[in-house]
């Protein structure tokens, strides 16, 4: 297929600890192999109120810093973000939105993107999907992506989520341990914790999802 006939897929996402980025990259690779033209666009969180917190990793005080985002999440007001030029400088046939969960719902940067004129430009009249990375809570986030994207004129076609290991308490300990150290440890304050973040099986699921999407965007006869 030449580039004029290849379906153009925009993969727009926010990622602080690179998990969403990892799944978006894995899916982009599959879609490229399937004959799509993929463009990755990472939203920057430039709001002066929060920029410093999300510029540093690991977090010096992870519990306090995660808790400090509650009021902003509850306000549901758009924050200042940077949207890469590639998002609006051309038209795309399909849009993929990568959204980490923050406080049970869509993270502020992706929520802000979905409120933007750029989102209307890129989503209006186009099919789109969402990919959620989270410790445990994906449903409200994915529903919010669907609702907000639909409001911008998009046509939601499916979605996928990646949920990390562990129950309510231990998965939180694993997250706090990782956010505060940048390392994978076996214990947090003496309590045994499961591995956090994406595992290989999540990436396999992501590739399968992208492969099915690729089949839909590039029917077998046109990829030959
Ligand atoms: C500020 C903040 C709030 C979070 N709140 C939740 C939450 O309510 N539920 C959940 O399942 N995960 C929550 N998480 C975990 C993230 O969804 C998880 O770390 C994910 O990997 C982040 O994606 P990223 O690596 O692409 O930044 C939170 C993480 C942060 C930094």
For ligand 1, whether the C-beta of 54 sits within 6 Å is: no
Please give the distance, rounded to the nearest whole angstrom, from the Cα atom of residue 99 to the centre of ligand 1.
Answer: 10
Domains of the chain, start order? 8-166+199-216 (3.40.50.360)
Structural tokens at position 88: 């609006």
Whose CA is closest to 205, among 144, 159, 149, 169? 159
Nearest CA owner, ligand 1 atom 29: 102
Q: In the predicted model, is pLDDT for residue 4 greater than 70?
A: no
> How much is the pTM?
0.96
Q: What percent of the chain has pLDDT over 70?
A: 96
Q: Are the beta carbons of 139 and 53 closer than 8 angstroms?
A: no
- Cα diameter, the chain: 58
Nearest CA owner, ligand 1 atom 18: 134
> pLDDT at position 219, please?
77
The span from the CA of 16 to the CA of 23, in Å, is 13
Q: Are the beta carbons of 16 and 109 closer than 8 angstroms?
A: no
List pLDDT tens digits, range 111-147: 999 999 999 999 999 999 999 999 999 999 999 999 9
């Amino acid at each position: 297929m030449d580039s004029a006939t290849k379906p153009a897929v925009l993969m727009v996402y926010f990622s602080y600890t690179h998990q969403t980025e990892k799944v978006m990259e894995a899916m982009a690779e599959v879609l490229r192999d399937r004959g799509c033209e993929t463009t990755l666009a990472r939203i920057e969180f430039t709001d002066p109120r929060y920029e410093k917190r999300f510029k540093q990793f690991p977090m010096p005080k992870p519990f306090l810093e995660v808790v400090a985002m509650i009021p902003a999440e509850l306000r549901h007001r758009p924050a200042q973000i940077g949207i890469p030029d590639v998002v609006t400088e051309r038209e795309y046939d399909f849009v993929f939105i990568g959204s980490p969960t923050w406080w049970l719902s869509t993270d502020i940067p992706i929520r802000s993107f979905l409120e933007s004129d750029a989102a209307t430009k890129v989503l209006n009249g186009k099919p789109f999907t969402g990919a959620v990375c989270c410790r445990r809570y994906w449903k409200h986030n994915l529903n919010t992506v669907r609702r907000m994207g639909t409001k911008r004129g998009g046509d939601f076609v499916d979605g996928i989520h990646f949920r990390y290991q562990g129950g309510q308490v231990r998965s939180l300990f694993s997250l706090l341990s990782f956010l505060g150290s940048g390392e994978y440890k076996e214990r947090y304050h003496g309590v045994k914790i499961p591995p956090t973040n994406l595992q290989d099986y999540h990436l396999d699921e992501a590739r399968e999802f992208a492969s099915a999407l690729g089949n839909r965007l590039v029917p077998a006869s046109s990829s030959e």
